[in-house]
Amino acid sequence: MPLQTGKYVKITIADQGLGIQPPYLDKVFDPYFTTKQKGSGLGLTTAYSIVKQHQGHLAVESVSGVGTTFSVYLPALETNHYPEKREVAGPIIGQGRILLMDDEATVREVLGKMLEELGYQVSFATEGSEAIRLYQQAQEQNQPFAAAIIDLTIPGGLGGKETLEQIKKIDPHVRAIVSSGYSDDAIMADYLKYGFSGAIAKPYNLIKLSRILSKVIK
């Protein structure tokens, strides 16, 4: 198990379905891998990322025709003394126009509402070509974007890295934040090297999002 020594809480979810075919078992946590006609392939990737961010592990076992079992391992407290609750500062309210590029309609809807709650106006793009067009249009109309949040991977479309390269030709000073559900990606880990001003991993946290935007836009 890729876990540090210690005590863990184990949560097991099992079904009695058809199971996962052996060739697919090692791919279920890969981003955009899916065997469904209407599936994004991001559900298990996001779940794996969340558990890993909490120093845990998500494992899967499956037998064809018998069923599938997912096991979540999360670090257990070594003491009954809970840390004192501390006041958490609220989100930082901002202003300005934000360009949001993501191919997932649900992500656009949720993140769009979060941005509006933080005081921003939002324009949406589903892939790189559309984002570039909207950015160019905003510049020409003298209504520039304060920042852009760009999804790293767009299946069948222009992805985040390539999109930013094109936008920089329009505006070398663009403030772009790279976004991904796969936090181990090299660009997420070293975003400045690739020309981004910030990085935020999915799923989004309102306070963290507000602070990143405030830092990037200032």
Tracing tokens 């126009």 back to the chain, one arrives at: 97
If one compares 50 and 70, the residue with the highest pLDDT of the two is 70
SS3 assignment, position 205? coil
If one compares 37 and 124, the residue with the highest pLDDT of the two is 124
Strand order in the sheet with 57-63: 8-14, 67-75, 57-63
Model pTM score = 0.67
Q: Is the pLDDT of residue 99 over 70?
A: yes
For the stretch 146-158, pLDDT in tens is 999 999 988 888 8
Average pLDDT on 159-187 reads: 91
For residue 194, which phi and psi values (nearest 5 degrees)?
Answer: -100, 10
What residue ranges define each of the domains in the chain, with the CATH number in brackets? 8-75 (3.30.565.10), 97-217 (3.40.50.2300)
